[in-house]
Chain A
């Protein structure tokens, strides 16, 4: 799972008394380049953000925002194409490796060959041993808290604890300086996508113990960290040992990048709209719902970018609790929820679309059929009442829903509450602190009847969407992702059959069909597919949103239209 990073609105922000920002539209629109135009080389791109990056160590950090940032300072065996006018930024291409890997033994053994002329920021050449060492860090009990795929897919002794404690891992071979061979637990046709995960970043052997990379990372990409003050600012400058000829993905136009953290979300919107001084070279996070209405002028529309996050917001229904054990009650809840009001809670049509299936539209092979259809997703209370009556629950009951303690999540919870009130189900909102939310709902003994959460796939395909959420064999006492606690043998059998398929297209289509099959058992209520809207400074160019990075601007292509401004 890629952790869904949700913007923290209203309540957790301070008072944005930036009443001085009365100038409005910024510089005149005439002659202004579009933010999607090709950038020039040079200049500094500024980022205005509220939270800092989770970790600069790629074995530790794992969310849309930080994965995007990693590509500026790190390289992996493969990576995704840069998002651009002719690419949606999801196709896997070779990065450190010459190609996307060669499989043998029925996809159980994968071989990659490194390009020539690859160097770390200190000038040392990048060898296959460095890649191997980087991957091994994923098994370290302290460092390996990021992407789970290396540990899940690559064969390793059960007691292997990473390079610092257990030394070399024999299942990753390095026959020479430029060749690396991975031996997997079982056939894995999408291994080319796995090696694009951030924890496949190379590091010189022996470095990076005790979270050293969180403050002083060793760059392999086009930029290196020049200055980093946690929670306040981060500056990247060019890594002079990176060779453009070895990199087909990163345009790397600006000379430097500067992040400013700890800014209030509403303040960021004001600054970007006003576009004064250096803010013409600035980019911010997803705008606040209240800002959408102000982006309707032609000047602002021109520098507004829209993107999809590729995530599904959903409410899990714990199939082992009280009335929810009855599938008819769960189906009634599917009908009773008004998905449109949850869209409004996230900021209306610009920031979300009502969901029909579990998989969002960005997943290939998706089947959009709504198993519980209603007009515009507003729900069908009549059908819900009928099902509740059949289940002997027409008097209604109380449903406890776990939700995060921030304004947006609370608004979604209240929207669900109103929807279910229509059929006599009383929703009690159980507010959980944002920092411990996933821990609490991932512990079956602590989670309640339902939980409001979301899921983002790690690469477009059903593999990283349905099995982690609905394979009952994955249910665990802690860190559980099968929130519905659905333990259905038929679904598990089908998951195994699909995983064994050779052809990725057929596999994705089969997952699309399985989606509807799972929905008939109503283990979750898909609420909406979230989107992003971003405002960029007038001088920003090469900005294309990427579904691979939660709808953020793909940083490898961004730059300035005029670096002298």
Chain B
């Protein structure tokens, strides 16, 4: 769940960069540090693989010779309730990761198309929450007083809400329309306060720092203060929090699809594949294992990368 991940992900406060290093220099140092970390390298490699799979899903379909929704009646056993023929859920030269029971749709191709949906929703929701979270967090922290009161109470309100239950209720009540867009909106509405709260807190501290005071004393306007002094110092916080938000949203999207309120069939989605596989766990465990492994791998890889990134950024600022 996005909520818990983000709660625990409050990054340590970066020290004020008095001798602001050139941005290129920081990036290069962080990259160097990440390259030395075997976990980060493996995770990044896996993520690149998933992104490539998502991008080239139609190509994978062409190579495998199956569309995401193409049935293959020959690959399932009619007399056994549609169980995939062959061992390991129908893994064969024709279907590299096996087929779905009952209809014989290719699992590899559906995983690739499912990655598209997962990535699209998670990345869009992250971008949207980042924009909303940073803007409102900055406003609250910088202007204080009634602006802060209004925004903070709104955040308290949204954070105190039982988000998952509300998402299920909202999504089941809404018409079937464009599900991915609805998912992004619903995820974002409940997701932004977690980033905004951290941004607000950091802005509050930064606003009181000497270098901001100095800039203010030398006649800089609010706009210059926010964009030239405060925002650059929030950079690492934002980077880390967004990297850690993506896996949260992937998990939530899968969870909502699992509960039947996510994307509608026949659109492939990992959560939906896992939901469908539940009743087959005993006769066709691979149907559960494969989408489950992809979901687990992706969330783990993103979390590891986010964690290592934070570590690298913190270390740099401490030095």
A494 CA / B1 CA spacing, docked (Å): 63
Q: Which of A9, A12, A340, A348 has the most CB of B within 10 A?
A: A348
Knowing A349-B79, A430-B176, say if A13 contacts B102 (CB, 8 Å). no
Contact of B180 with A by CB under 8 A: no
A290 CA / B101 CA spacing, docked (Å): 8
Q: Do residues B176 and A417 form an inter-chain contact, with CB atoms below 8 A?
A: no
Q: Do residues B103 and A341 form an inter-chain contact, with CB atoms below 8 A?
A: yes
Contact of A552 with B by CB under 8 A: no
Contact of A82 with B by CB under 8 A: no
Q: Do residues A414 and B81 form an inter-chain contact, with CB atoms below 8 A?
A: no
Residues of A within 8 A of B78 (CB): 340, 343-344, 348-349
Knowing A348-B79, A351-B81, say if A266 contacts B279 (CB, 8 Å). yes
Q: Do residues B282 and A294 form an inter-chain contact, with CB atoms below 8 A?
A: yes
1/0 per residue, CB under 8 A from B, across A265-280: the answer is 1100000000000000
A12 CA / B80 CA spacing, docked (Å): 23
Q: Do residues A410 and B283 form an inter-chain contact, with CB atoms below 8 A?
A: no
Residues of A within 8 A of B80 (CB): 292-293, 296, 348, 350
Residues of A within 8 A of B276 (CB): 10-11, 407
1/0 per residue, CB under 8 A from A, across B45-75: the answer is 0000000000000000000000001110100
Residues of A within 8 A of B260 (CB): 11-12
Interface residues of A in 323-366 (CB under 8 A from B): 338, 340-341, 343-345, 347-351
Knowing A340-B73, A341-B73, say if A290 contacts B79 (CB, 8 Å). no
For residue B165, give the distance in angstroms from its CB to the closest CB of chain A.
15
Interface residues of A in 6-24 (CB under 8 A from B): 9-13, 15-16
Knowing A293-B81, A417-B69, say if A344 contacts B102 (CB, 8 Å). yes
For residue B177, give the distance in angstroms from its CB to the closest CB of chain A.
11
Contact of A559 with B by CB under 8 A: no
For residue A58, give the distance in angstroms from its CB to the closest CB of chain B.
34
Q: Do residues A16 and B73 form an inter-chain contact, with CB atoms below 8 A?
A: no
1/0 per residue, CB under 8 A from B, across A401-431: the answer is 0000001001101110110000000000111
A62 CA / B30 CA spacing, docked (Å): 70
1/0 per residue, CB under 8 A from A, across B275-294: the answer is 11011101110000000000
Q: Do residues B70 and A418 form an inter-chain contact, with CB atoms below 8 A?
A: yes
Identity of the chain B residue whose Cβ is nearest the Cβ of A343 in the assembled complex: B78
Interface residues of A in 375-413 (CB under 8 A from B): 378, 407, 410-411, 413
Q: Which of B81, B276, B278 has the most CB of A within 10 A?
A: B81
Contact of B265 with A by CB under 8 A: yes
For residue B143, give the distance in angstroms from its CB to the closest CB of chain A.
46
A151 CA / B277 CA spacing, docked (Å): 46
Interface residues of A in 244-290 (CB under 8 A from B): 265-266, 288-290
A293 CA / B79 CA spacing, docked (Å): 8
Contact of A291 with B by CB under 8 A: yes
For residue B306, give the distance in angstroms from its CB to the closest CB of chain A.
29
Knowing A11-B275, A15-B278, A344-B76, say if A411 contacts B103 (CB, 8 Å). yes
Residues of B within 8 A of A349 (CB): 78-79
For residue B106, give the distance in angstroms from its CB to the closest CB of chain A.
13
Contact of B82 with A by CB under 8 A: yes
For residue A516, give the distance in angstroms from its CB to the closest CB of chain B.
27
Contact of B307 with A by CB under 8 A: no
Residues of B within 8 A of A296 (CB): 80
Give the size of the chain B interface in residues (CB under 8 angstroms): 29
Q: Do residues A289 and B102 form an inter-chain contact, with CB atoms below 8 A?
A: yes
Contact of B240 with A by CB under 8 A: no
Q: Do residues A294 and B278 form an inter-chain contact, with CB atoms below 8 A?
A: no
Identity of the chain B residue whose Cβ is nearest the Cβ of A413 in the assembled complex: B265
Contact of B266 with A by CB under 8 A: yes
1/0 per residue, CB under 8 A from A, across B111-145: the answer is 00000000000000000000000000000000000
1/0 per residue, CB under 8 A from A, across B232-275: the answer is 00000000000000000000000000001000111000000001
Q: Do residues A410 and B101 form an inter-chain contact, with CB atoms below 8 A?
A: no
For residue A370, give the distance in angstroms from its CB to the closest CB of chain B.
19
For residue B60, give the distance in angstroms from its CB to the closest CB of chain A.
19
Contact of B77 with A by CB under 8 A: yes
A230 CA / B302 CA spacing, docked (Å): 48
Q: Do residues A418 and B102 form an inter-chain contact, with CB atoms below 8 A?
A: no
A417 CA / B103 CA spacing, docked (Å): 13
User: Which of B77, B104, B265 is in CB contact (< 8 Å) with A410?
Assistant: B265
Identity of the chain B residue whose Cβ is nearest the Cβ of A15 in the assembled complex: B278
Q: Do residues A414 and B279 form an inter-chain contact, with CB atoms below 8 A?
A: no
Q: Which of B73, B176, B275, B284 has the most CB of A within 10 A?
A: B73
Q: Do residues B71 and A292 form an inter-chain contact, with CB atoms below 8 A?
A: no
A345 CA / B265 CA spacing, docked (Å): 13
Identity of the chain A residue whose Cβ is nearest the Cβ of B259 in the assembled complex: A11
Q: Do residues B283 and A418 form an inter-chain contact, with CB atoms below 8 A?
A: no
A411 CA / B82 CA spacing, docked (Å): 12
Identity of the chain B residue whose Cβ is nearest the Cβ of A430 in the assembled complex: B176
A338 CA / B104 CA spacing, docked (Å): 14
User: Which of A12, A340, A350, A415 is in CB contact (< 8 Å) with B79?
Assistant: A350
Contact of B309 with A by CB under 8 A: no
Q: Do residues B102 and A347 form an inter-chain contact, with CB atoms below 8 A?
A: yes
Q: Do residues A345 and B275 form an inter-chain contact, with CB atoms below 8 A?
A: no
Q: Do residues B103 and A290 form an inter-chain contact, with CB atoms below 8 A?
A: no
For residue A269, give the distance in angstroms from its CB to the closest CB of chain B.
9
Contact of B83 with A by CB under 8 A: yes
Q: Do residues B176 and A431 form an inter-chain contact, with CB atoms below 8 A?
A: yes
Q: Do residues A414 and B103 form an inter-chain contact, with CB atoms below 8 A?
A: yes
Q: Do residues B69 and A289 form an inter-chain contact, with CB atoms below 8 A?
A: no
Q: Do residues A418 and B265 form an inter-chain contact, with CB atoms below 8 A?
A: no
A288 CA / B280 CA spacing, docked (Å): 9
Residues of B within 8 A of A410 (CB): 265
Q: Do residues A344 and B73 form an inter-chain contact, with CB atoms below 8 A?
A: yes
Knowing A290-B101, A344-B78, say if A431 contacts B264 (CB, 8 Å). yes
1/0 per residue, CB under 8 A from B, across A431-474: the answer is 10000000000000000000000000000000000000000000
Q: Do residues A288 and B102 form an inter-chain contact, with CB atoms below 8 A?
A: no
Q: Do residues B79 and A10 form an inter-chain contact, with CB atoms below 8 A?
A: no
Residues of A within 8 A of B279 (CB): 9-10, 13, 16, 265-266, 288-290
For residue B301, give the distance in angstroms from its CB to the closest CB of chain A.
26
Identity of the chain A residue whose Cβ is nearest the Cβ of B278 in the assembled complex: A15
Q: Which of B70, B82, B176 has the most CB of A within 10 A?
A: B82
Knowing A293-B83, A349-B78, A410-B265, say if A418 contacts B69 (CB, 8 Å). yes
Q: Which of A10, A16, A340, A343 has the most CB of B within 10 A?
A: A10
Knowing A9-B279, A266-B279, A348-B102, say if A417 contacts B76 (CB, 8 Å). no
Q: Which of B70, B260, B265 has the most CB of A within 10 A?
A: B265
Q: Which residues on B are within 8 Å of A, measured CB to CB?
A: 69-71, 73, 76-83, 101-104, 176, 260, 264-266, 275-276, 278-280, 282-284
Cross-chain pairs A/B with CB under 8 angstroms, 27 sampled: A10-B275, A10-B278, A10-B279, A11-B260, A12-B260, A13-B279, A266-B279, A289-B82, A289-B279, A290-B101, A290-B280, A290-B282, A291-B81, A292-B80, A292-B83, A293-B80, A293-B283, A296-B80, A338-B71, A341-B73, A341-B103, A343-B78, A344-B103, A347-B82, A348-B76, A348-B79, A350-B79
Given contacts A289-B101, A338-B71, A349-B79, 5 further A-B contacts (CB under 8 A): A290-B284, A340-B73, A344-B103, A347-B102, A411-B103
Q: Which residues on A are within 8 Å of B, measured CB to CB?
A: 9-13, 15-16, 265-266, 288-294, 296, 338, 340-341, 343-345, 347-351, 378, 407, 410-411, 413-415, 417-418, 429-431
